[in-house]
Chains A and B, each alone.
Chain A
Amino acid sequence: MSQFVKPYLVLLWMVLLLTPAVMAQTAAPRPSGQLTIALPNDPRSLFVPRAPDRTAHNVAWQMYNSLVWVNDQGEIAPDLATRWSVSPDGREFTFTLRTGVRFHNGELFDAQSVVATWETGRDESNEYAEMYSLVREVRVNSPTSVTLVLAAPNALFLNILANNWAMVPPVYIRQVGLDGFAARPVGTGPFRFLSRVAGDRIVLEANANYFEPGLPRLARVVFRVIPDATTRVAAVRTGEVDIALRLTSGLVTPLQNNPRVRVINYPNDRVFYVGFKNVGNGRGTPLERVEVRRAINYAINRPGIIQAIFGGHARLISGFVVEGNLGFDASIQPFPFNPERARQLLAQAGFERGFSISMGCPADAYVHINEVCLAIQRDLARVGIDLTLEFRTSAAFWSQERYGAVGPMYVDSWSSTVGEALPRLIGALTPGAFFNTWEDAELYRLITQASTTVDRTARAAVYRQIQRRMFDEPPFAYLYQLVVFEAVNARVQNYRPRAAEEFFLKGVSVR
Chain B
Amino acid sequence: MIHYLVFRLAQSLMLMLGALFLVFFMVRLTGDPVALMLPKEAGPEQRAAFRAEMGLDGHLWEQFYNYLASLVRGDLGLSLSTRQPNLELIWQRLPVTLELALAALLLVLVMAVPLGLIAGFRPATLADRLVQWLAFSGQVVPSFLLAMLLILLFAVELGWLPSFGRDNPASLILPALALGLAGFSQLVRLVRASVLEVRGSDFVRTAKGKGLNEFWVATKHVLPNVTIPLVSVLGIQFTYLLGGSIYIETIFAWPGLGSLLNTAIQDADFPLVQAITLFLAFFAITVQLLGDLLYAWLDPRVKLG
A contacts, CB < 8 Å to B: 41-42, 44-45, 50, 52, 124-125, 127-130, 179, 197-201, 224-228, 230-231, 234-235, 237-238, 240, 393-396, 398-401, 414, 423, 426-427, 433-435
Residues from chain A with Cβ under 8 Å of B39 in the complex? 52, 127-128
Contact between chains at B40 and A435 (CB < 8 Å): yes
Contact between chains at A231 and B49 (CB < 8 Å): no
Asked if A237 meets B156 with Cβ closer than 8 Å, knowing A128-B39, A227-B250, the reply is yes
In the bound complex, CA of A199 to CA of B93 (Å): 9
Contact between chains at B36 and A235 (CB < 8 Å): no
- Interface residues in B23-77 (C-beta closer than 8 Å to A): 30-43, 46-47, 49, 53
- Interface residues in B241-259 (C-beta closer than 8 Å to A): 250-253, 255-256, 259
Contact between chains at A395 and B31 (CB < 8 Å): yes
Contact between chains at A396 and B31 (CB < 8 Å): yes
In addition to A198-B93, A199-B260, A226-B165, 17 A-B residue pairs with Cβ atoms within 8 Å of each other are A44-B81, A45-B82, A52-B39, A127-B42, A129-B46, A179-B83, A199-B93, A199-B255, A230-B251, A234-B152, A234-B156, A237-B156, A395-B268, A399-B34, A399-B268, A401-B35, A434-B35
Contact between chains at A427 and B41 (CB < 8 Å): yes
B139 at interface by CB-CB < 8 Å: no
Contact between chains at A398 and B253 (CB < 8 Å): no
Of all chain A residues, which has the CB nearest B270?
A: A395
Contact between chains at A227 and B35 (CB < 8 Å): no
Picked from B53, B164, B256, the residue with its CB within 8 Å of the CB of A226 is B164
Residues from chain B with Cβ under 8 Å of A234 in the complex? 151-152, 155-156, 163-164
Q: By CB atoms of chain B within 10 A, which of A45, A127, A400 has the most?
A: A127
Of all chain A residues, which has the CB nearest B166?
A: A200
Q: By CB atoms of chain B within 10 A, which of A125, A201, A398 has the most?
A: A398
Contact between chains at A227 and B268 (CB < 8 Å): no
Listed A/B pairs (27) with beta-carbon separation below 8 Å: A42-B263, A50-B83, A52-B39, A124-B46, A124-B49, A125-B53, A125-B83, A127-B37, A129-B46, A197-B255, A198-B89, A199-B260, A200-B166, A224-B253, A227-B262, A228-B251, A234-B155, A238-B162, A240-B163, A394-B36, A394-B268, A395-B31, A395-B33, A399-B33, A399-B268, A400-B31, A433-B41
Asked if A434 meets B31 with Cβ closer than 8 Å, knowing A198-B93, A228-B250, A240-B162, the reply is no
Residues from chain B with Cβ under 8 Å of A199 in the complex? 93, 255-256, 259-260, 263
Contact between chains at A231 and B36 (CB < 8 Å): no
Of all chain B residues, which has the CB nearest A231?
A: B164
In the bound complex, CA of A231 to CA of B178 (Å): 14
B92 at interface by CB-CB < 8 Å: yes
Of all chain A residues, which has the CB nearest B268?
A: A395
Contact between chains at A235 and B34 (CB < 8 Å): no
The distance from the CB of B42 to the nearest CB of chain A, in whole angstroms, is 7
Residues from chain B with Cβ under 8 Å of A125 in the complex? 53, 83
Contact between chains at B31 and A200 (CB < 8 Å): no
- Interface residues in B149-172 (C-beta closer than 8 Å to A): 151-152, 155-156, 159, 162-166
Asked if A228 meets B33 with Cβ closer than 8 Å, knowing A45-B82, A198-B92, A234-B152, the reply is no
Q: By CB atoms of chain A within 10 A, which of B33, B42, B83, B267 has the most?
A: B83
B148 at interface by CB-CB < 8 Å: yes
Picked from B36, B251, B260, the residue with its CB within 8 Å of the CB of A399 is B36
Contact between chains at A225 and B255 (CB < 8 Å): yes
Residues from chain A with Cβ under 8 Å of B34 in the complex? 399
Of all chain B residues, which has the CB nearest A225?
A: B253
Contact between chains at B93 and A434 (CB < 8 Å): no
Contact between chains at B151 and A399 (CB < 8 Å): no
Residues from chain B with Cβ under 8 Å of A179 in the complex? 83-84
Contact between chains at B31 and A399 (CB < 8 Å): yes
Residues from chain B with Cβ under 8 Å of A124 in the complex? 46, 49
Contact between chains at A45 and B263 (CB < 8 Å): no
Contact between chains at B253 and A395 (CB < 8 Å): no
Residues from chain B with Cβ under 8 Å of A52 in the complex? 39
Contact between chains at B156 and A399 (CB < 8 Å): no
Interface string of B78-93 (1 = CB under 8 A from A): 0001111000010011
In the bound complex, CA of A394 to CA of B252 (Å): 24
In the bound complex, CA of A200 to CA of B43 (Å): 34
The distance from the CB of A307 to the nearest CB of chain B, in whole angstroms, is 27
The distance from the CB of B41 to the nearest CB of chain A, in whole angstroms, is 6
Contact between chains at B253 and A427 (CB < 8 Å): no
Residues from chain B with Cβ under 8 Å of A401 in the complex? 35
In the bound complex, CA of A128 to CA of B43 (Å): 12
Residues from chain B with Cβ under 8 Å of A44 in the complex? 81-82
Residues from chain B with Cβ under 8 Å of A41 in the complex? 263
Picked from A50, A201, A400, the residue with its CB within 8 Å of the CB of B32 is A400
In the bound complex, CA of A427 to CA of B40 (Å): 7
Contact between chains at B36 and A238 (CB < 8 Å): no
Picked from B36, B42, B156, B164, the residue with its CB within 8 Å of the CB of A395 is B36
Of all chain B residues, which has the CB nearest A399?
A: B31
Residues from chain B with Cβ under 8 Å of A226 in the complex? 164-165, 253
In the bound complex, CA of A179 to CA of B30 (Å): 28
In the bound complex, CA of A228 to CA of B49 (Å): 35
Contact between chains at A231 and B83 (CB < 8 Å): no
Please name the 7 residue pairs, one residue from A and one from B, whose CB atoms are nearest each other, closest first.
Answer: A395-B268, A199-B255, A200-B255, A399-B31, A226-B253, A234-B163, A399-B32
Q: By CB atoms of chain A within 10 A, which of B92, B162, B266 has the most?
A: B266
Picked from B35, B83, B267, B268, the residue with its CB within 8 Å of the CB of A400 is B35
Of all chain A residues, which has the CB nearest B35?
A: A399
The distance from the CB of B26 to the nearest CB of chain A, in whole angstroms, is 15
The distance from the CB of B258 to the nearest CB of chain A, in whole angstroms, is 10
Residues from chain B with Cβ under 8 Å of A227 in the complex? 250, 253, 259, 262-263
Asked if A231 meets B31 with Cβ closer than 8 Å, knowing A394-B268, A395-B36, the reply is no
Q: By CB atoms of chain B within 10 A, which of A201, A228, A399, A401 has the most?
A: A228
Contact between chains at A434 and B40 (CB < 8 Å): yes
Asked if A238 meets B31 with Cβ closer than 8 Å, knowing A41-B263, A227-B263, A228-B250, the reply is no
Picked from A130, A235, A423, A427, the residue with its CB within 8 Å of the CB of B164 is A235
Interface string of B92-126 (1 = CB under 8 A from A): 11000000000000000000000000000000000
The distance from the CB of A245 to the nearest CB of chain B, in whole angstroms, is 13
Contact between chains at A238 and B268 (CB < 8 Å): no
In the bound complex, CA of A347 to CA of B193 (Å): 74
The distance from the CB of B246 to the nearest CB of chain A, in whole angstroms, is 11
The distance from the CB of B296 to the nearest CB of chain A, in whole angstroms, is 38
The distance from the CB of B31 to the nearest CB of chain A, in whole angstroms, is 4
Q: By CB atoms of chain A within 10 A, which of B35, B40, B163 has the most?
A: B163
